[in-house]
Amino acid sequence: MKTRKLGQSGFEVSALGLGCMSMSAAYGPPADKAEMIALIRKAVALGVTLFDTAESYGPFVNEELLGEALEPVRDRVVIATKFGFDIDPATGKRSGRLNSRPEHIRAVAEASLRRLRTDRIDLFYQHRVDPDVPIEEVAGALQELIHEGKVRHYGLSEASVQTIHRAHAVHPVTAVQSEYSLWYRGPEADLLPALEQQGIGFVPFSPLGAGFLTGAIGIDTKLDATDFRNTVPRFAPQARAANLALLELIQAFAARKAATPAQIALAWLLAREPWIVPIPGTTKLHRLKENLGALDLELSAAEVEELGAAAARIPVVGERLPEAALAMTGK
């Protein structure tokens, strides 16, 4: 397995991680627990070391799934989880409010450690920036947890460049997680240059456009009623029809390289910077193996530029998230 270091921290992980949210939440009914445990352990056997979860996935059940699956191999893997939402620990009910008060961060860390069956969180992200709590207080709380050994590294998710600078000044940020792919290029304008300047790693989520860039979702694909993509403007029928132009470009490029569209999309991300570590999610073994195949796909600098430039000429129709979710990003 090829590895990468997240920025200048020396924090080494597999070049592709595994996003685990879809195993328990958001993409329809939860997958079979025993099958997901087997999939996670197969990922470890294939060399994956970075596993991404959050207390809000479920809530709670995704962390419990990872805890059970990874307990026998804990010292071989890196677990990333997140805090930042107001969730009733007794009922698992989400209020919809953000909560990054220092005492809440500590309470979430303790609960996550129990669910993950571990004594340390390798990478602890603020899931969304809380406008009611200064980021300096958040970074200070995380610094305390790091000094106590309960957290090894911390990160921010969907944060603005200014917020990242302020947090980094208190205690070095190891990684920033935001959406990035040929389907959404927003980080290229300001975020990626800022991360490179400060030596911070980048962990793109939805690197396959929530499945669209794999070619598995067509105009007529029916999603489960509980699938969050039903609320995403980019997946509305008219938007899907318009966005097929981007998929067709990637499919044509894949044919040239004897690869799959997913492999091309991931290889393009991997070729952008050596400190980028995408975390595609899946519940299927054949998709896991397909995604890992991107690590053996070499794209030249000219090919990366060609694909990126061609994709940039195709306007993607629809917002990437529902309005309420977008309002929580870029703070």
Closest CA to 21 of 319, 279, 329: 279
Strand 85-87 and strand 78-83: the pairing is unpaired
* 154 tagged catalytic: no
Contact at 8 Å (CB) between 281 and 21?
A: yes
CA-to-CA separations, 67 to 20, 62, 119, 121, 148, in angstroms, rounded:
12, 9, 11, 11, 21
Contact at 8 Å (CB) between 290 and 264?
A: no
> How far is residue 313's CA from residue 182's CA, in Å, rounded to a whole number?
11
List the catalytic residue out of 27, 57, 154, 180: 57
Omega within 30 of 0 (cis) for the link into 59: yes
Q: Scan for tokens 């962390």, then name that residue.
A: 63
CA-to-CA separations, 89 to 39, 60, 92, 107, 324, in angstroms, rounded:
28, 9, 5, 10, 23
| Residues involved in catalysis | 57
